[in-house]
Amino acid sequence: MTASFRSELMKLRRPRVLYGALGGLFGCTILVTVLTFATATAPPARLTAGFTNASRLVGVVVLVMFLTNVTTEYSLGTLRTLLLRRPLRDRLLAGKVLALGACTAGALLVALAVSLASAAVVTGVRGTPTGPWLADAATGYANTVLAAACYGSIGLALGVLLRSTPLAVGVALFWFVMVENIARNTWPGAGHVLPGLLAGAVTGVPGSVPYSHGLAGVLVYSALSLTAGFVVFARRDVST
């Protein structure tokens, strides 16, 4: 598993992968943060409000990153080579997941710093006050990592199950961008069941679901997604 972890880190350091993922992550964070503070009619109570509001878009970016990391192994045929060198599939996939998780946690920490800097600039220009933010930032970061873990687990499962990048990305975007947004406005119980809305409750996006309920839902979805991904990856033939 250690060898798989290290090789995955090397792959993630490639400029095409690194700049694409970080560009999407930081771009979403900066855009939502600036809009949050620039368009607010009243000063937001927290300097991390922009980071919280960006958590849903950031989660989708993380999902796509996990998803494409798996599907490209199938489409490029590199998975067969990896399995020849490391036939223990569970350890291979575990190394990939740990490497992706570590990189995601680091990227989110930088994204939080970028969001706070953007918020400070906008509030400074507008002359709006900012209260204490350090403890709030630590809590917001931890909750965002938990939510991102849920999105990443779902992305991993979709990648393993569907194995096609266009199909898996299409299914993910259709669900999280369309289905959940429609359900949130038409079904009162959607926030208690759907994964994206539960993740939003964890990160602090305003809603009717308590934090404890959102946290429990996020942990359940993460466990189920990882279990499904590992079981299918271990048992299904690579060529089918």
pLDDT at 203: 92
pLDDT in tens, 140-153: 999 999 999 999 99
The answer to whether 170 and 64 are in contact (CB under 8 A) is no
pTM listed for this prediction = 0.91
Q: How many CB atoms lie within 10 A of CB 105?
A: 14
pLDDT at 131: 63
For residue 184, the number of C-alpha atoms closer than 13 Å in the C-beta half-sphere is: 20
The three state secondary structure string of the chain is CHHHHHHHHHHHCCHHHHHHHHHHHHHHHHHHHHHHHHCCCCCCCCCCHHHHHCHHHHHHHHHHHHHHHHHHHHHCCHHHHHHHHCCCHHHHHHHHHHHHHHHHHHHHHHHHHHHHHHHHHHHHHHCCCCCCCHHHHHHHHHHHHHHHHHHHHHHHHHHHHHCCHHHHHHHHHHHHHHHHHHHHHHCCCHHHCCHHHHHHHHHCCCCCCCHHHHHHHHHHHHHHHHHHHHHHHHHCCCCC
User: What is the dihedral sign for C-alpha 49, 150, 154, 87?
Assistant: positive
pLDDT at 130: 65
pLDDT at 59: 94
pLDDT at 6: 83
Contacts of residue 132, defined as CB under 8 A and 6 or more positions apart, other chains included, come to: none
User: Predicted confidence band at 71 (pLDDT cuts at 50, 70, 90)?
Assistant: very high
Angle at 124 between CA 118 and CA 125, to 5 degrees: 95
User: Predicted confidence band at 175 (pLDDT cuts at 50, 70, 90)?
Assistant: very high
pLDDT at 67: 93
The answer to whether 150 and 195 are in contact (CB under 8 A) is yes
User: Using CA atoms in the order 165, 5, 150, 39, what is the torsion angle rounded to 10 degrees?
Assistant: -80
Question: What is the pLDDT of the chain when averaged over all its residues?
Answer: 88
Of the candidates 30, 88, 25, the one whose C-alpha atom is nearest the C-alpha of residue 234 is 88
Residue 43, pLDDT > 70, answer: no
pLDDT in tens, 9-35: 887 877 676 777 888 889 999 999 999
